[in-house]
Chains A and B, each alone.
Chain A
Amino acid sequence: MHSLKRLVEMMERAKKGPLCTEKDWNQKVVPETNRKYLKKYDLEHRFNKEEPVNQDMALADRFFEAAMEYAVEIGLFCPDTERIIHVSKPEILQALADAPDHLVLGKFDDRITMRARRPESDIPPIFAGPLCIQVDEDLFVPIAEGILKSKKVRIQEGPAIDTVYGRPGYSGSPFETAVGIRVVELKRQAQELAGRPGMPNFGICSSTTEYGNMGALHLLHKPDNPAVAIILNPSELKVDFSSFHKAAHAIGIGAYLDCGGAYAMIGGWSGSPEGCVLTNIATDILNFTIQQSDVAASCIYDMRYDSSCSRPALWANSIATQAETRNTHMMMYKLINQLAGPCTEEILYTSTAGSLETGVSGNAFQIGPRSAGGRFKNYLTPLEHWFMAEVYEASAKLTLEKTNEICLWLLSKYEAGIKNPPEGKSFVDCFDIKTLTPSQEWMDIADRVAEDMRKHGIPIGDPVVSRK
């Protein structure tokens, strides 16, 4: 059960904890503490490029043990007060014990139970989509309706709008509050049109600061269909006042909390792939303890490409997930940043690598894909969501060993071009807006890649839902 009192206690620690400048935190505290635990637990230079999906479970467990000690020593940094929020090991253990091992979401035909999973679990993981990618207001409903045509898309999160009635939706302003309310209206319309009024919801997309969430999460939340609040922290091992605002509001209305969005960057303050694994696990368990997450959403990116699909990032996300799912019942996902846009083979190959690697390692759910890396407005279509939903559920039928073999093959398809991903096409350029069907070109690409997948042992159905 959430406790507002406990959250306030953590807020007080953000006001009264030890002082530290943000510069010192980034440049000294995180790198030095991280290195100390990598060394202490003999975790340096463990990345194996032949195993983008980690196969060594003892190593995963050692990472978890190290991350637990690291989390107790380091805590989370609050940039608003430039203070550190520390928690004790008993507090962490209690929070992890209190964390839910399942959530019942949605109603009617769309009621689902999200469950904690372990590596090689045969429980199908839950696919949610789309991410909060910006679209024109007049395209929101058709794009969302199209995505929801796949019943394997079991939770709706996005998309996002950056305008409201044609005006810019400036973050941190009253426009953002209005955007939040408008997003809920548009989601409801899309769900009604898709015949899925009972769908579970994550929200609020377009809430860059707390305004969007506080203006509209209560509109998305229903006692018989609880919403999950998206609470994105500024970066790894940090929590700010905006996140505390969102957490307090979500607790107040009885919603669930999805805390994270804080990416450990390979090449960044945590340094190596191994350092990022430590930081990622520590960030998750601290989010559960300090913000009372119900589900977590931190992950590991490769700074060189802004991607989670590079070889070291695949390995790091897989072993971090294994460490967490073998040692706790936390439910989480690791975001996949595909970079390539719709109507390309690359988005499907990278979606598959990320989906399989996280799914087989025990993630409970996945939200995606981040079409074209989220860089271009309207660059998302239903088809890559349908495809990814198929692939993600298929991960429950695979072993770690087989998934590693598949990921090595997938890397051979996209790794060389990861630095210059193709932009692809926008929704209007490869989808029929009236019939919500893909262009022949986009369907042919999906069919070709799906056939390729089946040949390599990935048991997926027809990815073109509109054809079924």
Chain B
Amino acid sequence: MSNEELLMNVSNAIVVGDVEGTLAGGQAALDAGIPAEDILQKGGTHGLDIVGEMFENLEIFMPELLICAEAMKSLLAQMKPHLKAGAGSVADIKVVIGTCFGDMHDMGKNITALEMSLHGYDVIDLGANVSNKEFYRAAEEHQAGIIAMSALMTTSAFYQKDMVEYLIEQGKRDQYYVIMGGGVVTERWVAECGADGYGRMATDAVIVSDMLIKGDAGPGTSTINVFQGSTTRADKGQTLL
């Protein structure tokens, strides 16, 4: 079997959410001497691209995405020991996610949690109506890399700004990337909050997180905005839009 076919087997198993098939395909690819990085990129991520296209065409939906996420997670865990130093995946990054206090809307947050999980992040979903204290405690307890806050209402979005201020007061702003999204959340609001990232759609949150984690800028130094896949970046002090 050619390397292309071996990688295709991995992609196909991801697409149908077959954990055992993914692991078998991953092992076969490793045995054939394909680097783990290539298996993740040309097998796993390629599979996710197909999954994304199928979702866009309404061929699969959130329940199926969940199954694909499990398959992708299994591949990430399998490849982790074989990755070269410095080529780490995001699987080590814990994301604490929730909808802000006083806001019961959970769909956008659920989709974002799922997309991040699908792309390998270790997601701790705190649910809806989450106080800033709960966000902070969970981030500390799990040693999170990212705090992701969703708000559908402007009156709950105020807590997003408070969260950043609270981290500054606690002397912890440089420990956590804070990303924001939700129906009423805009690039302008995120800049005003001093957050690290904004994503309009769930998939945008993944792009933002990838850029933050793989980039050089530490928490609290710049803001990345992603709107439907298009990215802009603003250093602190710059005016957006």
Contacts and interface: CB of A to CB of B under 8 A. Distances in A.
Interface of A: 22, 26-27, 31, 79, 134, 160, 162, 168-173, 175-176, 179, 206, 208-209, 233-235, 240, 242, 263, 265-273, 275, 303-304, 306, 312, 373-377, 419-420
19 contacts: A26-B110, A27-B66, A31-B63, A79-B128, A162-B153, A162-B155, A171-B103, A171-B159, A209-B102, A235-B105, A235-B107, A240-B104, A267-B55, A269-B61, A306-B201, A374-B183, A375-B186, A377-B154, A419-B228
A298 B95 CA distance: 32
B183 A172 contact: no
Contacts of B154: 134, 160, 162, 377
B101 A172 contact: yes
A266 B156 contact: no
Interface of B: 55-56, 58, 61-63, 66, 100-107, 110-111, 127-129, 153-156, 158-159, 183-186, 201, 228
A263 B111 CA distance: 14
Contacts, number: 103
A171 B183 CA distance: 15
Contacts of A169: 155, 158
Nearest to B56: A304
Contacts of A419: 228
B184 A208 contact: no
A271 B62 contact: yes
Q: Which 10 A-B pairs have the closest CB atoms?
A: A171-B102, A172-B102, A271-B61, A162-B154, A234-B104, A171-B155, A31-B63, A168-B158, A171-B156, A208-B153
B158 to A, nearest CB: 4
B135 to A, nearest CB: 15
A170 B62 contact: no
Main DSSP-derived SS at the B contact region: loop
A176 B155 contact: yes
B131 to A, nearest CB: 9
Given A268-B107, A271-B63, A170 B55 contact: no
Contact of A171 (B63, B127, B153, B228): B153
A27 B63 contact: yes
B186 A206 contact: no
A267 B153 CA distance: 23
A206 B58 contact: no
Nearest to A34: B63
A303 B228 contact: no
A268 B65 CA distance: 10
Given A171-B155, A235-B107, 13 more contacts: A31-B62, A79-B127, A79-B128, A160-B154, A170-B155, A171-B159, A172-B129, A233-B104, A234-B105, A268-B61, A374-B183, A375-B183, A377-B154
Contacts of A22: 127
Nearest to A265: B107
B158 A170 contact: yes
Nearest to A263: B107
Contact of A267 (B61, B66, B103): B61
B159 A170 contact: yes
Nearest to B62: A268
Contacts of B58: 266-267, 272-273, 312
A263 B158 CA distance: 24
Contacts of B127: 22, 79
Given A170-B158, A267-B55, A234 B106 contact: yes
Nearest to A176: B155
Contacts of B128: 79, 234
Contacts of B102: 170-173, 176, 208-209
Contacts of B61: 31, 267-272, 275
